[in-house]
Chain A
Amino acid sequence: GQNIDQPTEMTATEGAIVQINCTYQTSGFNGLFWYQQHAGEAPTFLSYNVLDGLEEKGRFSSFLSRSKGYSYLLLKELQMKDSASYLCAVRDSNYQLIWGAGTKLIIKP
């Protein structure tokens, strides 16, 4: 079966750095996405990786290792507004998205 694993919840301190991991087992691979979802709101696109390596976008970076079936989302200089759920999703060989259950990130002052 297809599976995406990510931690259920993480806590970090304002101003710090946090890394949210995602491991996947899917039928084929055509890209990995990270989305941010604030409570009661819709998910919004953060990043996309299709090749191995690090993609940096401001305070957020996303890393992919296809051979390990592994990705992480790195958030730097954490702000209170970063409190949200972070969803990992993999596009499989049929170009369908397989979603993880999301990681709820709690930022403390």
Chain B
Amino acid sequence: IAGITQAPTSQILAAGRRMTLRCTQDMRHNAMYWYRQDLGLGLRLIHYSNTAGTTGKGEVPDGYSVSRANTDDFPLTLASAVPSQTSVYFCASSGTSGSTGELFFGEGSRLTVL
């Protein structure tokens, strides 16, 4: 059972470079999310998608973009990375049918921007 797979697990990136974090789920969940987690702060929502073909902005969307071409994939792109985007990024998904809507998380992508 794979659940949610994120790639890469870790990356060091030069400022100004473009970077895409990949996220794939095999649970057929409609909703998917991207969070960043920084020391001392709660998880902060970057972007979300309630269903394939739709996306929305979260709490901290600036500098990030997403797409949701199909149910399974939800990539996050940093168009021009800056040091403040150094963080751990978690992709998550949730179903609705017969569940509480709890989130299932990927293992995270640790990104360092120099």
Interface set of A (CB-CB < 8 Å, partner B): 4, 31, 33, 35, 41-45, 48, 50, 87, 89, 91, 95-102
Chain B, Cβ-Cβ closest to A99? B42
A101 to chain B: which residues have CB within 8 Å? 40-42
Instruction: From B43, B58, B100, B108, give the contact of A48 (CB < 8 A).
Output: B100
Within the assembled complex, what's the spacing in Å between the Cα atoms of A89 and B46? Answer: 16
Give the 10 A-B residue pairs with the shortest CB-CB distance, closest first: A99-B42, A42-B105, A45-B102, A48-B100, A99-B43, A101-B42, A42-B107, A43-B105, A100-B42, A42-B108
* 16 further interface pairs, Cβ-Cβ under 8 Å (given A42-B108, A44-B105, A89-B43): A4-B42, A33-B102, A35-B103, A42-B90, A42-B105, A42-B106, A42-B107, A43-B43, A43-B103, A48-B100, A48-B102, A87-B42, A87-B43, A96-B58, A99-B42, A102-B42
Q: Is the pair A91, B107 in contact by a Cβ cutoff of 8 Å? A: no
Tally B residues with Cβ within 8 Å of A: 18
Q: List 17 A-B contacts (CB under 8 A).
A: A35-B103, A41-B107, A42-B105, A42-B107, A42-B108, A43-B90, A43-B105, A45-B102, A45-B103, A48-B100, A87-B43, A96-B45, A96-B48, A96-B58, A98-B42, A101-B42, A102-B42
